[in-house]
Structure 1
Amino acid sequence: MTRVRLMTDTITVHVPFRLVKRGGRKEIVLPIGRPVPRNVNDTLVKALARAFRWKRMLESGEFGTISDLAQHEGIAAPYLTRVFRLAFLAPEVVEAILEGRQPPGLSLEVLRDQLPVDWLEQRASLGM
């Protein structure tokens, strides 16, 4: 016959975090002193995704002109053109937006304005 030995020592592990709902999903928020949670701007991420999708559609020859693409998407050509410019942002700017490291004042309205073509000038004008 074997004897069962009950463990009387209990180990308790305390992991400080909070669950926060953001945009329909749950995120773990770490306590102070931990890496800062990213502030991903869903509007900017969606606009970037659209811009790169539209660029791919035009480059593939699926649509011949921006007007054709705008008509297919059901939006105005000037709007498509302004958002389309985001496909030509500096790679560092795109990465910062996707990772939630963009400057606090950076919005879609700011990015839809005329930006310099040169990537160094873009980063400087956006404060990055």
Structure 2
Amino acid sequence: MSDAVQTLTIVIPLQVKPRGGRKAMVRPGVLALERRQDVTLIKAVARAFRWRRMLESGRFATINELAAAEKINASYVSRVLRLTLLAPDIVEAILDGRQAPGLDLPRLLAGFPLAWEKQRASLSPA
């Protein structure tokens, strides 16, 4: 039996990129996807599902109560809550940064079809 030390070298290609005022290591190819992530849209989708959960749990009885607690306009809360009606694959694409070019929060707040198939036809990448 040999007492020689064996060394194993693993090479992982990484790049150092600035992220929000600090540096982070990312794998090549990941950066291209992250550039398309619309943080404003992602936050709005997350907020919509959080608000829906608050309403469904009974924490707030009405959209007006929720809006007052969040100190924002009830009309805005209603428009953002509609994001919970998006097809699951569209929500996933938004979270992954794979949404169609030009699909942003103002576009979604302006309205979209309720039927998922129609959403896919009008909101998904070609």
TM-score norm. by structure 1 comes to 0.78
Q: Tell me if 1:118 matches 2:115.
A: yes
After TM superposition, give the deviation of residue 14 of structure 1 in Å: 7.0
Structure 2 vs 1, CA of residues 15 and 48 (structure 1 numbering), >3 Å: closer, same or farther? same
Aligned to 1:20: 17
Q: 2:70 aligns with which of 69, 73, 89?
A: 73
After TM superposition, give the deviation of residue 100 of structure 1 in Å: 1.1
Find the aligned partners of 1:80 and 1:37 in 2 and give their Cα distance: 32
* Aligned positions of 1:65-104 closer than 5 A: 65-104=62-101
Deviations 1:3-36 (A, max 9, x none): xx9xxxxxx9876542111334524151xxx577
Structure 2 vs 1, CA of residues 13 and 73 (structure 1 numbering), >3 Å: closer, same or farther? closer
Q: 1:37 aligns with which of 32, 35, 42?
A: 32
After TM superposition, give the deviation of residue 86 of structure 1 in Å: 0.6
Larger radius of gyration: 1
Find the aligned partners of 1:51 and 1:94 in 2 and give their Cα distance: 11
Contact 1:29 1:37 in 2 (8 A): no
Q: Which stretches in structure 1 are left out of the alignment for 5+ residues?
A: 6-11
Structure 2 vs 1, CA of residues 71 and 20 (structure 1 numbering), >3 Å: closer, same or farther? same
After TM superposition, give the deviation of residue 114 of structure 1 in Å: 1.3
Identity %: 50
Q: Which has the higher helix share?
A: 2
Q: Which amino acid aligns with 1:95?
A: E
Q: Which amino acid aligns with 1:28?
A: V
Find the aligned partners of 1:122 and 1:27 in 2 and give their Cα distance: 36
RMSD, matched Cα: 2.7
Q: Which stretches in structure 2 are left out of the alignment for 5+ residues?
A: none
Contact 1:70 1:76 in 2 (8 A): yes
Aligned to 2:55: 58
Q: Tell me if 1:109 matches 2:109.
A: no
